[in-house]
């Protein structure tokens, strides 16, 4: 599943649950997440698992911003390392939002149809936001 948070780390949206073999970037492409963000005038900051998700072209503003990956024969420049560090600092509250959702132990034991798991995760999203807001 894919989840979106606001800049404070509050969970805003959870995608439909997909089978475990589905990668995150494939799920985002299937849901057309970058196009929906661009249509809404929003953007997202993602981890390195989403590099290449937003192939909007060189002249368009990106909807999904990711860091830089180092290759075996091409280490990161100082500017790229600083950029990755700044993105990691912005993503820290977001990771806390995901941690609140992962605190529900039932998510580790779900072995059911993705349709039922989606209903469970969306209910836990509401409960998580209620719990965190207290």
Both tokens of residue 34?
A: 């970058």
pLDDT for 14 equals 84
What pTM value is reported for the model? 0.73
pLDDT for 84 equals 94
Nearest to residue 23, comparing CAs of 59, 56, 43, 51?
A: 51
pLDDT for 26 equals 87
Separation of alpha carbons 64 and 39, rounded Å? 13
Both tokens of residue 75?
A: 């280490």
Most confident of 20-24, 35-39, 58-62: 35-39
DSSP 107: G
For residue range 81-124, what is the model confidence (pLDDT) as tens digits?
A: 999 999 999 888 888 888 887 787 777 777 777 777 888 888 88
Separation of alpha carbons 35 and 8, rounded Å? 23
């Amino acid at each position: 599943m894919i989840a979106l948070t606001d800049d404070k780390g509050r969970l805003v949206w959870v995608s439909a649950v997909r089978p475990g073999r589905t990668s995150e970037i494939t799920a985002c492409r299937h849901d057309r997440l970058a196009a929906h963000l661009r249509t809404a005038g929003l953007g997202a900051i993602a981890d390195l698992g989403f590099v290449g998700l937003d192939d909007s072209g060189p002249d368009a503003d990106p909807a999904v911003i990711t860091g830089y990956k180092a290759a075996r024969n091409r280490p990161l420049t100082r500017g790229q390392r600083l950029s990755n560090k700044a993105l990691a600092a912005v993503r820290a509250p977001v990771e806390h939002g995901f941690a609140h959702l992962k605190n529900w132990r039932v998510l580790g034991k779900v072995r059911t149809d993705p349709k039922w798991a989606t209903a469970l995760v969306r209910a836990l999203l509401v409960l998580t936001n209620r719990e965190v807001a207290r």
